[in-house]
Amino acid sequence: MDRREECRLTTLINPQNTDLKIGARAFQDKMKFFSDDFSADEILEANGLSESPAKTETLSFGEVFVETIKPPLDLLIFGAGFDALPLIKFAKELGWRVTAIDHRPAFANAERLTEADEII
């Protein structure tokens, strides 16, 4: 998520003839594969799944639930007046990355916009 790239979370929901247990998980992005439960070879089958946000698929070792996790949105706020403060707070609660842009130094400063990720 720090690289702001899409990733995939695979959870085993119905194991079939395997030592894996319900709830076994694998996390993968373009760079790495992380799992205490699956081997990379077991989960490679899931790489070609459709681009839908969430879907169940039957693989050789059982049925899995695959979630595509997209990075948080970037929100650009033009104007850092008083109305921008609750908008920044709300966006941060949603996990978004917020950039506030204002030409007025009295409004666009770190003391006023403490929750903004970037101030221009």
Q: What is the pLDDT of residue 6?
A: 81
For residue 13, which of 3, 5, 21 has the smallest C-alpha distance? 21
Quick check: 87 and 33 in contact, CB under 8 A?
no
Q: What is the pLDDT of residue 75?
A: 96
Quick check: 113 and 98 in contact, CB under 8 A?
no
Residue/partner pairs of 104-112 with CB below 8 Å, 24 or more apart: 104/80, 107/79, 107/80, 107/81, 108/80, 112/80, 112/85
| Count of residues making up the chain | 120
Q: What is the pLDDT of residue 50?
A: 47
Residue 63 DSSP SS3: strand
Per-residue pLDDT tens digits of the chain, which is 120 residues long: 667 778 888 888 888 877 788 888 888 777 676 677 766 666 655 555 445 667 777 777 788 888 888 888 899 999 999 999 999 999 999 989 999 999 999 999 999 999 999 999
Q: What is the pLDDT of residue 33?
A: 67
91: enclosing H helix or E strand: helix 84-93
Q: What is the pLDDT of residue 48?
A: 52
End-to-end Cα separation, the chain, in angstroms: 23
